[in-house]
Structure formats: C-alpha cells, structure tokens
Amino acid sequence: MTFTPWTAFALAALGLVVGAFGTLIGAGGGFVLTPILLLLYPHGPPKTVTAISLAVVFANACSGSAAYARQRRIDYRSGLVFAAATLPGSVLAAVAVAHVSRRAFEALMAGVLLLLGTWLLAGARARRARPSRGRERVLVDLAGQTYRYRVSLLRGALYSLGVGFVSTFLGIGGGVMHVPLLARALGFPVHVATATSHFVLAIMAGAATITHAVQGSFAVGDGLRRALALAAGVVVGAQLGAHLSLRLAGHAIERLLGLALVALALRFLVAVA
C-alpha cells in the first residue's frame, strides 16, 4: 500500500481510536493495533509489523503516563521494579521475532488473542484476588481518593519478566496482560493498576522500539512514516482515554473487548488453516 497524505490521515484517525481505548483500560492499544496491521498489510514481515505497533505503544504509553501522573495514580516504586524486570525479555523478543515466518507469527497471534479474549470474558465474572502479602502502599490521587494495598515485588517482577518477552514478541505491548495480573493476581486497585501498567509499558516499549530501530525493522514498507502517523493520533487519543477512565466502569468494556479478540483470533485461524 502506497503511503499518501490520505494514508497518513487514516492512520492518525486509527491511532486516535486505538490510543483512547488502550489508555482507557491501561493496555496501551498494541493488542488491537497489531492484528489490524496484519490485516492492513498482509505481506509485511512480522518484525516490521511489531516494530510499528511497539513504536505506537511507546507513544501511547508516554502520553497516557503523563496524564495519569497528573492524576497521581502511578505507583512509581512498584512500576520501576516491574519495568526493569520486563527489559531482558523485551530486548530478546525484539531480536527473535525477525526469525519467525509470517504464517507462524499469525498462528501464534491467533492463539494468544483467543486466550486473552477468553480470559477477559471469564475475568469479567471472576472474583477479585486476595491482596498480596508485601509492603503496604498508600496512594492518594488528585481527586483525594485514598488507595491502600500491599505489593509483593518479587511476584510482580516474575510476572513482568514473562510479560516482557511475550508481549514484545507479538507487538502487543503487554498492558492487556499486565493490568489483569496487577489487579487480580497482585491485588492492586484497578485505577492504580491501569496507571502503573502504562508507566511500565512506556519503559518496556521504548526499549523494544530502540532495538527494532537498531535492527532496521522500520526500513520495510515506509514503516517509520506509518508509525509516526499512527503515533500522532495515539498521543491525542491517550489523553482522551485517561480522561474517560475517571468516568467509565471497565466490566462492559472488558466483555466487548473479549468478544472482539475472540473474533480476530478466529479470523487468523481461518487464514492459516
């Protein structure tokens, strides 16, 4: 597909929607963007698709983190530990994806989307996990809401290590896995989980994007210009999503998202069958 001004506008509009939705649920948007890019560019190599997606996730996460920082909902002490844990897997995955065929990549994507969709649909009905054992955190946001919870940094770091590899390999950013882990497995309040996940995501996606740039992943098919057009929309959308997150409940969104991911997974399974 030739890159034109109309292409840039369409990608920016897509980025705005992805940025708003991804920030709203604290997931960064890559889990939606990568499948869309696979559909839009059926002949693009996996390394370029994931490079574009992760660059956009980085822009989204930075913009969203700035908004969440103003709302004072980021747990920086936990976030820095979790972000450091994601880096080894993130860099390794950015290198490994260059050696995977498009067909194998789509099959892996279908499997992960199916698992994520099922998890979100089941999670909408699941009980909240018991609070983790660990150091107590007390966080007061800009609106005066007080959050009290305990954090097991070791468990969180182990989860983050796996998230860093899987999410970077598939170009999905990791927030869609990290938010449920923080909220359900570690006992973070949901609003703190979404904000802290965005902070972790900015560091992780930044490291992966730099690795892809060094490898030349953006050189194929106007990858850099497409990433910049998407990022322009994402930065605006992330601010909108952070604003909406203060007003909307997440249960209905999780159900709709789960259905959409399952539908995308089935589409990819048909394509590779």
Q: What is the pLDDT of residues 81-114, one digit of tens each?
A: 999 999 998 889 888 888 888 888 888 888 887 8
The pLDDT of 18-36, averaged and rounded, is 74
Name the residue with tokens 């199916």.
114
Query: What pLDDT, on a 0 to 100 scale, did the predictor assign at position 250?
Result: 54
Confidence of residue 248 (pLDDT cuts 50, 70, 90): low
Confidence of residue 251 (pLDDT cuts 50, 70, 90): low
In whole angstroms, how far apart are CA 211 and each of 10, 11, 89, 95, 204? 27, 23, 12, 7, 11
Q: For residue range 104-155, what is the model confidence (pLDDT) as tens digits?
A: 888 888 888 788 778 777 765 554 555 556 778 899 998 899 999 988 899 9
In whole angstroms, how far apart are CA 110 and each of 19, 145, 185? 22, 39, 25
Q: Which of 91, 76, 88, 112 lies closest to 200 in space, CA to CA?
A: 76
Helices and strands in the chain, H and E counts: 10, 2
Query: What pLDDT, on a 0 to 100 scale, did the predictor assign at position 130?
Result: 52
The pLDDT of 237-244, averaged and rounded, is 79
Rounded to whole angstroms, the Cα distance separating 84 from 78 reads 10
Q: Which of 273, 268, 194 lies closest to 238 in space, CA to CA?
A: 194
Rounded to whole angstroms, the Cα distance separating 235 from 221 reads 23
Name the residue with tokens 């909406």.
244
Query: What pLDDT, on a 0 to 100 scale, did the predictor assign at position 241?
Result: 78
Q: What are phi and psi of 162, to 5 degrees?
A: -70, -40
**Is residue 27's pLDDT more than 80?**
no
Confidence of residue 249 (pLDDT cuts 50, 70, 90): low
Query: What pLDDT, on a 0 to 100 scale, did the predictor assign at position 262?
Result: 82
Query: What pLDDT, on a 0 to 100 scale, did the predictor assign at position 271?
Result: 66
